[in-house]
Chain A
Amino acid sequence: MMRTNELLAQDEPLLEVRDLSYSYDTVEAVRGVTFAVERGELLGFLGPNGAGKTTTLGCIAGLLSDWKGSLHFDGRDFDPGSRTADRATLGLAPQELALYDDLTGLENLCFFGRLSGLAGSELDTAVEAALELSGLAARAGDRVGTYSGGMKRRLNLAIGDLHQPQLLLLDEPTAGVDPQSRSHIFECLRALRRSGRTLIYTTHYMEEAERLCDRVAIINEGAIVALGSCRELARSIGQVEADLEQVFLQLTGRRLRD
């Protein structure tokens, strides 16, 4: 099921980020980041805590204003901060769980579904799909406050994808979850990718990036230090057999783990 604009502009990247910079009051969190996301790819953002991953996603999702640089989506100027229509093309699963603990899983899904404009049978279908994706159908009627960390993560992800956005932004979707939930989330990501969704996904886990991503952007201290497939990155440091851990160490002079 391809969208018409995808047919028209096959080779154009879905999202183009040029020279993006953002400063909090005193901290220069993102410094001139440039990259493009191809249609249907799963792009990994790999970097230690505080590297600027969340800030970059915040700019793309329109949560932060006053950033410098340019954003293009589908070849058009992109400003989700002030244009509602631009926000409709995005889905977001924030790093901090964005759920109402006092509502049930189903109520959360319905609420956020309606918020993004879904209604009627369209909403029912989307909610059903989300429950299946997150594997929470059996617990849909329970309050989210009673969910485990992994279940909350899965719900957090499924809500971001409810309205089937063209680009799904996932900020550390596996943070603080047990191994079972983690592999479930991996399955979700693969399934989403298979269905043609374009994803940006941040993590500070090497193995995840290696296992899942088509390409990886290594980000450190607010700047992208390398971008490519795992193999390309290994080759770029002259060690074909190297893993991302070694790539990171070589490029930044520091270890990735805290």
Chain B
Amino acid sequence: MRRLLQTALLLAGKDFRVFFRDRTGMLLGLALPIGLVTVFGFITQFAFRGGDMPRAELWVVDEDRSEASRLLVAELERSATLRLRPEGDEEAHDAYELMDDGEAHHVLVIAAGFGDRIGHGDVPELTLLRDPGRTMEDRLVRIGLSQAVTTVTRGRLIPVLLGQRLRDVGLPEDVVAEVVQAQEAGRAALENYLAQAAGEGGSGGDTAALDVQSVFSNLVPMTVVDRQPPERPRMLTYTLAQSVSGITVMMLMFGLVACGGTLILEREQGTLPRLLSAAMPRDAILVGKFLFAAAVGLFQLALLFCWGELLFDVGMFQRPATLLVVSVSVTAAVTGFGVLIAAWAKTTKQAEGVSTLLILVMSALGGAWFPVQLFDLPVYAEIITRSTLTWWAMSAYQQMLWDQASWTAPSVLQALAVLWAFALATSFLAWHLFRRRYTGG
């Protein structure tokens, strides 16, 4: 046993020496992850900083050109969910052409007569052209539109729309009329009061904040309090934590598959016969690869976390013990994975191809790219995502970073247990394959 470990250490030391001597390989192994973390970190930080939602683009074709339509456009411009086109000197030509050119994904057409109809208290005609392939923006566009229309019509349309809706449901006409009348009266009273208050220079209540729209959208009394766990760094958003741990885990997998691949290299470069014929326990060859990959993995993690901390201040080192325990467990699991690929593959090419595929699929499914942890998935999908190594590694890091959990928390312990199960299972399988493929026993 002692001889096995000694020999394994000797072999791992040799691999380390070769690793640091191969500049290109080292660059790929260490600099690439750092570069990726930097890029992804910046993207997520700037794209989603401060909880700002991304804006959806909306083209507007104003065929009415009335005061009311200009007001609507101005209101849309103020919307937090929309980015309005055309901008500056741009011109909106034919709406359908814009769609067909693929230039626009959502076009609002304000038909002629829009202003007149509003003036008469009629429902105005608005047409929204949309590209069915851009469902992501659709919701944002609808929110922005309905807010703007309500504001522009100063709530005047609400009774009319309400009446229409009630009729659609099939209520008797007399009931509809009664409800609409009551609504009209209420709106009129509010408008009268607001106009009066504006004329008198504001006496009863904060009338500036009381526009008609907010009356209807903020009816439910609610105090909104922004509060985050006291130990969580201010800069940290869920997406940044997600991105840092996701890219880290993914790059770790690539790195350690490459380390494990030096086992195949021993065969391809012809050094394997010499190792096999040496007077040493042959299992030391495999154990040496484990030690080498694990050491490189911990080194890579340390480097990445220091870099991530320096650049993004994500609070990586707030719980050193947890960081260490989680990182060691993740490294063990990923090392097992890397060595297993190496023991299984017949050639380096095969190992690279299969591992790239596996890593990308596991990263996508396990949440390294988008936060599948946040979605409500059907049971089978949940099972699939949770059967990936990535999911558990991410889960452990996310709980540490985002939930400020210690490694002794039950849910973290659960992730650690699964990671070690992965480590043991893959190692055992790797050993089995190694014996069959390399030592002929």
Contact = CB atoms under 8 A, between A and B. Distances in A.
Nearest to B281: A84
Nearest to B20: A102
Interface stretch (A70-78, A91-99, A211-219): A91-99
Contacts of B273: 58, 61, 63, 92, 94, 96, 98
Interface string B367-397: 0000000000000000000000000000000
A81 interface: yes
Name B's interface SS: helix
Nearest to B440: A65
B18 interface: yes
B82 to A, nearest CB: 58
A74 to B, nearest CB: 16
Contacts of B7: 115
Interface in B346-386: none
Given A65-B441, A103-B17, A98 B22 contact: no
Interface string B253-285: 000000000000000011111111111110000
A92 B274 contact: yes
Contact of A84 (B11, B22, B280, B441): B280
B277 A82 contact: no
A85 interface: yes
Interface string B391-409: 0000000000000000000
Interface string A161-177: 00100000000000000
B28 to A, nearest CB: 15
A80 B280 contact: no
Contacts of B441: 65, 81-82
A64 B278 contact: no
B10 interface: yes
Contacts of A88: 279
Given A62-B277, A116-B280, A103 B14 contact: yes
Contacts of A130: none
Nearest to B282: A84
Contacts of B227: none
B280 A107 contact: no
A66 interface: yes
Contacts of A92: 273-274, 277
A64 B272 CA distance: 12
A160 B273 CA distance: 11
B277 A63 contact: yes
Nearest to A165: B279
A238 interface: no
A114 B10 contact: yes
Interface residues of B, number: 24
B277 A80 contact: yes
Contacts of B281: 84
Nearest to B275: A115
A184 interface: no
B120 interface: no
A115 B271 contact: no
B21 interface: yes
Contacts of A87: 277-280
Contact of A111 (B10, B22, B276, B439): B10
A93 B439 CA distance: 19
A107 B17 contact: yes
A90 interface: yes
Contacts of B278: 87, 112, 115-116
Contact of A98 (B18, B274, B279): B274
A61 B439 CA distance: 12
A35 interface: no
B440 A98 contact: no
Contacts of A85: 279
Contacts of B21: 102-103, 143
Best-buried of B10, B11, B277 by chain A (most CB within 10 Å):
B277
Interface string B277-319: 1111100000000000000000000000000000000000000
A82 B277 CA distance: 10
Contacts of A103: 14, 17-18, 21
B366 to A, nearest CB: 34
A98 B270 contact: yes
Contacts of B11: 115
Contacts of B18: 100, 102-103
A230 interface: no
B6 to A, nearest CB: 9
Contacts of A112: 274, 278
Nearest to B10: A114
Interface in B1-31: 7, 10-11, 14, 17-18, 21-22
Contacts of A101: 269
A142 B292 CA distance: 24
Contacts of A84: 279-281
Contact of A116 (B271, B276, B279): B279
A179 interface: no
A62 B276 contact: yes
A176 to B, nearest CB: 13
A117 interface: yes
B35 to A, nearest CB: 24
21 contacts: A58-B273, A61-B276, A63-B277, A80-B277, A81-B439, A82-B441, A85-B279, A92-B273, A92-B274, A94-B273, A98-B270, A98-B271, A98-B273, A100-B269, A103-B18, A103-B21, A111-B10, A112-B274, A115-B7, A117-B280, A159-B274
Closest 9 CB pairs of A and B: A65-B440, A96-B270, A88-B279, A98-B274, A87-B279, A92-B277, A94-B273, A102-B18, A102-B21
Given A63-B277, A102-B21, 16 more contacts: A63-B273, A64-B440, A66-B440, A81-B439, A84-B279, A87-B277, A87-B278, A92-B274, A96-B270, A98-B271, A99-B270, A111-B10, A112-B274, A114-B10, A115-B278, A116-B278
Interface of B: 7, 10-11, 14, 17-18, 21-22, 269-281, 439-441
Interface of A: 58, 61-66, 80-82, 84-85, 87-88, 90, 92, 94, 96-103, 107, 111-112, 114-117, 143, 159-160, 163
